[in-house]
A and B are shown apart, each in its own frame.
Chain A
């Protein structure tokens, strides 16, 4: 394979990793955000947390692998992005630290203040990254100040522009909806009712904010200019899938509703990456200074090694991660043995 083909393959693989991350960690972020609204007492909160108990850590590895893949395949993308979005990433790391520990530690002591502290850590630890990832994706495509030597020249507040915040709110509400639908699949009785009610309510802001974001994208970025006025099947299906969720929920078809939130998240992520291609970070200072898969990538040899490794191990990972979802496919009830 020539260098250019491999650069494209790795762009696609990074997009796949982000898509997987948003789909999987998306619903466990959502469950975390819904924790205070779902659980009226400690037992209910434990039940809610245990629905994602066996999965959340494996889901988070999608992000770590995406980070590693960007580092290995596109070192300049990794260097510019991680140094440029410094304080935002610091905030996200702090959120993920508290969230990860909260799952493991909250039920290790009976003290109500202790449990409440960790429950709020789960809430904020889920809400902050769910918001920040939307902000980050919007900034990838809108463009950020990058100079000729690929260094970010903006500050923290450059990232918090209205467009990026709109995308952040859209991702926050969509992940929350995705989590609510997941909970309708994993709970019973009152918890199931509550999840269903929340999902239906959340559908309204999630859909509204996604449409706002789509229109805003038309105004603010060159995405539609690049994809054409008729942007093609993928963005349209992303919107249609989201519309169908409410219909399916009203019919009580939770499983299909979850498929549709998944499709919607996947297709909107793919849309953003399609709009980016072949760029990975757009420079708002000068379009020529944008990072692309061509000027940010590793050497042909390195990409070749990485392609081989990915071709062997990605299917294996998918198999055993899928198997873990199969083992724990049952609903979690208050009478289940709760580990967390």
Chain B
């Protein structure tokens, strides 16, 4: 068994699965905190009920986020021991800080929040859920500090013997421009993910005229605004990130666009079936000049193509294949942007409805709002696949290749890896099913289900 392939498969599986649930907890924690704050400020019972209701759905997801998160933290050492040795001096730091600053905060105050409804004053109780929300989103920040080093290494030098990268500046690591492009994108993705769940579930209650109609109108109002803010900002943040990546990670951009050769002005592909070996389009619909515009806000401007970037990489790093899987990068980018566009549409529809206080839904609008919660999940997964697959063959760009990073097969054999892949696949599939069933049960049960 090819241990590199299995280790990558397991990492992809466990991280994509982990990230099914994490953005939902990032967004729902803030939303729950907003509801409870409204309760503390107005004293209106409906806000307390909604805080409990959304908090309940948050908890069901949070549990999976936590247990799959432990796997993520351990996995670097288990499957990527050479990587851990190579970057531990840098990469371990944000991970340790994440545990100390974020995990303690969210888990302790979540305990206080869940069990403290009748024990501590209202204001303090609302503060607890805000601390949970801050903790969750802080953990996203620190893991992105770690990930950004892999995308765009800064603040380091190579050890004298070349065996590892060593940190030279913590502030450069933290203020890596890549962090501050990624973090707003992930933060707002969380808001959108939480927001669309609120929109979909609230709309369901209104369509089915359940007994909690009045409260779910309020919920839809807040949810529509929240989802709209999330959808709008995540698109803007993503766009900004892409403009920066044209300079920073041109190969990822070229692969995401299936741009085989450098163009000026560069065309934007709407639909391309390409031949990765010959590096040419088999069939393609392209908008002339559009990619240059997206990259530079100007219809002219050179965007580098895959073959030129490959030549540059060979000149810089020596012979080798420096091209990621174009088909993966291209389609994950399109799924992300496509889902993002539909999110803007769905959020606009929801917002239009609540502004007009029109709570009747036609077939098409109904279907759009009910299914809207799947859109961010698609975009989140596709986005991470693009981020990680588009970086290949590097695990740390320019420093270490993925194939050099894996635990030696003499330590973790193919059979052992296969065992863990099978175990995680089985458990994670079962957990998805359980999570979906529980979410469905409590989402449809309405407010009294959470009391």
Interface set of A (CB-CB < 8 Å, partner B): 50, 53-55, 57-58, 60-61, 63-65, 67-69, 71-76, 78-84, 86-87, 89-90, 93-94, 96-97, 100-101, 103-105, 108-109, 150-153, 156, 298-299, 301-302, 305-306, 309-310, 313-314, 317, 320-321, 324, 327-328, 337, 339
Cβ-defined partner of B118 (8 Å) among A97, A104, A156, A337: A337
A28 CB to nearest B CB, Å = 12
Is there an interface contact between A327 and B441, defined as CB atoms closer than 8 Å?
no
Is there an interface contact between A83 and B96, defined as CB atoms closer than 8 Å?
no
B435 CB to nearest A CB, Å = 9
A-contacting residues, B94-117, CB 8 Å:
95-101, 103-105, 107-112, 114-117
Cα distance A103–B114 when bound, in Å? 12
A-contacting residues, B65-117, CB 8 Å:
66-71, 73-74, 76-79, 81-82, 84-85, 87-93, 95-101, 103-105, 107-112, 114-117
Within 8 Å CB of B110, what residues of A? 57
Interface pick from B36-44, B187-195, B300-308, B403-411: B403-411
* The 4 A-B residue pairs with the shortest CB-CB distance in the complex, in nearest-first order: A75-B88, A82-B77, A72-B92, A68-B96
Chain B residue with Cβ nearest A103: B63
Chain A residue with Cβ nearest B64: A101
Cα distance A306–B407 when bound, in Å? 26
Cross-chain pairs A/B with CB under 8 angstroms, 27 sampled: A50-B115, A53-B111, A61-B104, A68-B73, A71-B91, A74-B88, A78-B92, A79-B82, A83-B79, A83-B81, A86-B416, A86-B420, A90-B419, A90-B420, A93-B74, A97-B431, A100-B63, A101-B434, A305-B93, A305-B167, A310-B100, A317-B100, A317-B104, A320-B109, A321-B108, A324-B111, A337-B118
Cβ-defined partner of A54 (8 Å) among B62, B96, B114: B114
Is there an interface contact between B99 and A68, defined as CB atoms closer than 8 Å?
yes
Within 8 Å CB of A109, what residues of B? 438, 441
Is there an interface contact between A82 and B81, defined as CB atoms closer than 8 Å?
yes
Cα distance A57–B79 when bound, in Å? 26
Cβ-defined partner of B434 (8 Å) among A78, A81, A105: A105
Given contacts A64-B70, A71-B77, A80-B81, contact A309 B167 (CB under 8 A): no
Chain A residue with Cβ nearest B171: A305
Within 8 Å CB of A314, what residues of B? 100
Within 8 Å CB of B77, what residues of A? 71, 78-79, 81-83
Is there an interface contact between B411 and A151, defined as CB atoms closer than 8 Å?
yes
Q: Which of A72, A305, A337 has the most chain B CB within a 10 Å cutoff?
A: A72
Query: Chain B 154-183, CB within 8 Å of chain A: the 1/0 string?
Result: 000001000010111010000000000000
Interface set of B (CB-CB < 8 Å, partner A): 59-60, 62-64, 66-71, 73-74, 76-79, 81-82, 84-85, 87-93, 95-101, 103-105, 107-112, 114-120, 159, 164, 166-168, 170, 407-408, 410-412, 416, 419-420, 423, 427, 431, 434, 438, 441-442
Further pairs besides A68-B97, A72-B88: 14, Cβ < 8 Å? A57-B108, A64-B99, A65-B100, A65-B104, A69-B96, A79-B82, A79-B85, A83-B77, A83-B79, A93-B74, A97-B68, A104-B60, A313-B100, A328-B119
Chain A residue with Cβ nearest B169: A301
Is there an interface contact between A58 and B108, defined as CB atoms closer than 8 Å?
yes
B107 CB to nearest A CB, Å = 4
Is there an interface contact between B73 and A67, defined as CB atoms closer than 8 Å?
yes
Within 8 Å CB of B88, what residues of A? 71-72, 74-76, 78-79, 298
Cα distance A90–B116 when bound, in Å? 34
Is there an interface contact between B168 and A301, defined as CB atoms closer than 8 Å?
yes
User: Chain B's interface: helix, strand, loop or mixed, by majority?
Assistant: helix
Chain A residue with Cβ nearest B442: A108
Q: Which of B79, B93, B115, B164 has the most chain A CB within a 10 Å cutoff?
A: B115
Cα distance A327–B84 when bound, in Å? 40
Chain A residue with Cβ nearest B173: A305
Cα distance A86–B407 when bound, in Å? 11
Given contacts A54-B111, A78-B92, A101-B63, contact A93 B71 (CB under 8 A): yes
Chain A residue with Cβ nearest B434: A105
Cα distance A74–B164 when bound, in Å? 13
Cα distance A210–B351 when bound, in Å? 65
A143 CB to nearest B CB, Å = 17
Cα distance A60–B67 when bound, in Å? 10
Chain B residue with Cβ nearest A91: B423
Is there an interface contact between B112 and A153, defined as CB atoms closer than 8 Å?
no
Cα distance A80–B412 when bound, in Å? 11
Cβ-defined partner of B92 (8 Å) among A73, A309, A339: A73
Within 8 Å CB of A75, what residues of B? 84-85, 87-89, 92, 164
Is there an interface contact between A58 and B96, defined as CB atoms closer than 8 Å?
no
Given contacts A100-B63, A104-B60, contact A302 B99 (CB under 8 A): no
B159 CB to nearest A CB, Å = 8
Chain B residue with Cβ nearest A304: B170
Within 8 Å CB of B93, what residues of A? 72, 302, 305-306
Within 8 Å CB of B115, what residues of A? 50, 53-54, 328, 339
Is there an interface contact between B100 and A89, defined as CB atoms closer than 8 Å?
no
Is there an interface contact between B108 and A104, defined as CB atoms closer than 8 Å?
no
Within 8 Å CB of B68, what residues of A? 97
Is there an interface contact between B167 and A302, defined as CB atoms closer than 8 Å?
yes
Cα distance A286–B97 when bound, in Å? 35
Cα distance A100–B120 when bound, in Å? 25
Is there an interface contact between A79 and B442, defined as CB atoms closer than 8 Å?
no
Within 8 Å CB of A84, what residues of B? 411
Q: Which of B68, B74, B170 has the most chain A CB within a 10 Å cutoff?
A: B74
A293 CB to nearest B CB, Å = 14
Cα distance A310–B69 when bound, in Å? 22
Is there an interface contact between B100 and A302, defined as CB atoms closer than 8 Å?
no
Within 8 Å CB of B108, what residues of A? 57-58, 61, 317, 320-321, 324
Cβ-defined partner of A89 (8 Å) among B78, B109, B168, B438: B78
Cβ-defined partner of A86 (8 Å) among B59, B62, B78: B78
Within 8 Å CB of B411, what residues of A? 83-84, 86, 151-153
Cα distance A61–B99 when bound, in Å? 7
Is there an interface contact between B116 and A302, defined as CB atoms closer than 8 Å?
no
A62 CB to nearest B CB, Å = 9
Is there an interface contact between B407 and A83, defined as CB atoms closer than 8 Å?
yes
Chain A residue with Cβ nearest B166: A299
Cβ-defined partner of B74 (8 Å) among A50, A67, A151: A67
Within 8 Å CB of B59, what residues of A? 104
Is there an interface contact between B73 and A83, defined as CB atoms closer than 8 Å?
no
Q: Which of A108, A328, A337 has the most chain B CB within a 10 Å cutoff?
A: A108
Is there an interface contact between B410 and A151, defined as CB atoms closer than 8 Å?
yes
Within 8 Å CB of B438, what residues of A? 105, 108-109
B406 CB to nearest A CB, Å = 10
A67 CB to nearest B CB, Å = 6
Within 8 Å CB of B442, what residues of A? 108
Is there an interface contact between A61 and B103, defined as CB atoms closer than 8 Å?
yes
A316 CB to nearest B CB, Å = 9
Within 8 Å CB of B81, what residues of A? 79-80, 82-83, 151
